[in-house]
Amino acid sequence: MRATIATKTIEQVMKQRKVIRDEIHEQMMERLKGLGIWLETAELTEVYLVQEQLFRDMQQKFRDNQKRSAQLYHMKIEENLSKLRTAKQLELKALTDSANLELDKYRQASNLRIQDQTTQDQQKIATIQQQIYEAQQQHKNNQQALQNKINIMLQEDGQQIKMKTLELRTERLALETAIQNSEFKTTELNTKYDRETKDKEKKLEQEMAGMETELNKEALDE
């Protein structure tokens, strides 16, 4: 046993007991051949360091190695965390940029739709206003024609004049009623256009707010 241990370092003696035990057992079995003796095992139970300074030095070396290993492990963890943070930041930036780009595209498309709809509505209003103007001009011409007819008919006999005057007044009242209905229709169309425009703008704002909320939520989840 002494011969075997003498060739080992202190660290090997302390950490490789099974190797030493097997080596001792093998050597002893060689010597016991032919003697009728069977060696079951050889145990190395305790290792004592007589020199206290040597023991402290070994402990210090062990602590230094453990400390160095811990520092290296900590540095490796910090490096991995740094790489992971950088990757996540880049991923989040790419996702945010993509979301902002999609949002800008959606806003531009929405603005174009609003502009097209506004142009169409303005064209409708212009057409209605033109129709109102033409109706007013026609009414004015009709009034002038009626007044001329009245002046002519005033020269005729009394009863005939009264009948013609009544007919003309009835016709004039009908025309005035038509003009009032046309003006009422114009007012109603303007009111409907204002209401529809406000509803469209409100709906668009809600869609854009909902999309921004969803994009922010996806960005936070990432």
CA distance 36 to 39: 10
Q: Do 156 and 97 share a domain, yes or no?
A: yes
Please report the pLDDT score of residue 157 as a whole number. 61
Cα 61 from chain centroid (whole Å) = 55
Question: In terms of residue numbers, what domain contains 159?
Answer: 93-221
Taking a C-beta distance cutoff of 8 angstroms, is the pair 44, 2 a contact? no
> 102 and 16 in one domain?
no
97 and 180 share a domain? yes
Closest-CA residue to 208 (of 104, 133, 135, 86)? 104
Q: Mind giving me the DSSP string for 117-134?
A: HHHHHHHHHHHHHHHHHH
User: pTM for this one?
Assistant: 0.30
101 within some domain: yes
Same domain, 101 and 202: yes
Q: What is the pLDDT of residue 161?
A: 64
In-domain check, residue 12: yes
Total count of domains within the chain = 2
**What is the mean pLDDT, run by run of 10 residues, along the chain of 222 residues?**
70 76 81 77 68 62 76 86 88 86 84 84 86 87 84 68 76 80 75 77 76 69 61
